[in-house]
Structure 1
Amino acid sequence: MTPALVGSVAWALMVAGWYVIRYPFERRAKRARVERSRRGPAETLRMAISLTGLGILPGVFVATGWPRSATYDPAWWQIALGLGAMAGALVLFRKTHKALGKMWSVSLDIREKHRLVTSGIYRRVRHPMYSAFWTMALAQALLVPNWIAGPAGLIGFGILFAARVAPEERMMEEAFGDEYRAYRARTARIIPGIF
């Protein structure tokens, strides 16, 4: 097997792993009543841009090889780094879902009887789900040997992150007040001790 094939297969396995981790939480979340939501056209657009970068463009490349003109031959060390990032992303993704439990939502929602989660992986990082997606986007850039489809996840998710994190933090502050402000003061956004 070539490094390119290993990278493409690994990317497909990462997407499958993402779905396997998320599916039971998504089913459970549908049963919990949403009290407040910030969903709307802007959120739909952000999610579509992120999906295009993290799913559609790399999926088209892995399935068809298009766009061929942007394809390159990756080195084994690049694929090894991508596999490490992939493993880290899936571990973070699982820990985040587990810590959130019934409070998890795919979008900007406050559930009925919502509580602020500050334990587990949330002890030091306010947005470990975003940390997982950044790591997944990095893994994609390393695993998918195409100058367009590979880094598309960093761009697509980057747009979602830049446009969504501030409204999400405002929503949490409105819902939890001083408790959230104190939590925000003692935690990093996505990288412990750095940012």
Structure 2
Amino acid sequence: MSRIVLSALSAPGRASAVRLTPHFLLGAAFVVAGTVLRLRCYRVLGKHFTYRLTLWDGHKLVKRGPYAYVRHPGYSAVLCLDVGSTLVVFGPGSLFREEQWLGSPWGRAFLWVWGLCRGAEVVYVFYRPVLEDRLLKERFGTEWVMWARKTRYRLLPFVY
């Protein structure tokens, strides 16, 4: 079995064509920006950060740091990471592209899984903030309304 996998992965390609490209550098910049933004969100939220949609007793509405620009910057960071990693993994000059792995059955399967995972993540990233906004508005009322007026965008400044 391992010989089959190795032979599929080492199909003749152009390994010498693997190189740094503008696509790779842009993707890497998106990955770094997404990572820094996500870490900043964790730090600013502190004890209020949770993966579950919940509010604690004594919960405060966080309006500083990246939350002063968009209401859900942690999800903006996920979008940056998705775009960046896709450019790095599949862009011109990448190992996947230059070794022509995408033309192999394993490569196509990987591409499908990657696409399904990123697609599900994008749906989640656009859906979850709507739920969070409802919960926050219900809990904080006028304070949330005033903040939402000032911080109009959920994920992307001047877009959404």
| Residue 156, structure 1, aligned to residue 120, structure 2 | yes
Task: Specify the code of the residue in structure 2 equivalent to 1:194.
Answer: V
SS across alignment from 1:164: helix
Matched-pair identity in %: 25
- Alignment match of 1:138 (pick from 62, 83, 87): 83
Whether the aligned pair in 2 keeps the contact of 1:140 and 1:153 (CA below 8 Å) is no
Q: Is the 8 A contact 1:141 1:154 kept in 2?
A: no
After superposition, give the CA deviation of every residue in 1:87-111 in whole Å (9 maximum; x if it has no partner).
1011101111111011111121101
Q: Give the counterpart letter for 1:154 in structure 2.
A: R
1:27-176 equivalences in 2 (<5 Å): 76-77=20-21, 78-145=23-90, 147-176=111-140
Letter in 1 for 2:45: L
* Cα offsets for 1:82-139 (capped at 9, x unmatched): 1111110111011111110111111211012100000111111100001000001111
Unpaired runs of at least 5, structure 2: 91-101, 103-110
Match of 2:142 in 1: 178
Indicate if the aligned counterparts of 1:144 and 1:150 stay in contact, CA closer than 8 A.
no
**How many residues are paired up?**
129
- CA–CA distance in structure 2, aligned partners of residues 75 and 148 of structure 1: 24
Note the C-alpha offset of 1:166: 1.4
Q: Deviations over 1:27-62 (max 9, x none)?
A: xxxxxxxxxxxxxxxxxxxxxxxxxxxxxxxxxxxx
In 1, are the aligned partners of 2:28 and 2:85 still within 8 Å (CA)? Answer: no
The residue identity in structure 1 corresponding to 2:79 is W
The structure number with the bigger radius of gyration is 2
Measure the CA separation in 1 of the matches of 2:19 and 2:124. Answer: 30
Runs of 4+ in 1 over 3 A off after TM superposition: 72-75, 146-154
- Following TM superposition, by how much is the alpha carbon of 1:153 offset from its aligned partner in structure 2, in angstroms? 4.8
Q: 1:74 to 1:112 in 2, by over 3 A?
A: farther
- TM-score of the superposition, structure 1-length normalised? 0.58
Q: Classify the secondary structure of the residue corresponding to 1:88.
A: helix
Write the distance in 2 (CA, Å) between the matches of 1:175 and 1:142: 40
SS at match of 1:143: helix
Is the Cα contact below 8 Å between 2:73 and 2:155 reproduced in 1?
Answer: yes
Find the aligned partners of 2:123 and 2:82 in 1 and give their Cα distance.
12
Instruction: Compute the RMSD of aligned alpha carbons.
Output: 2.7
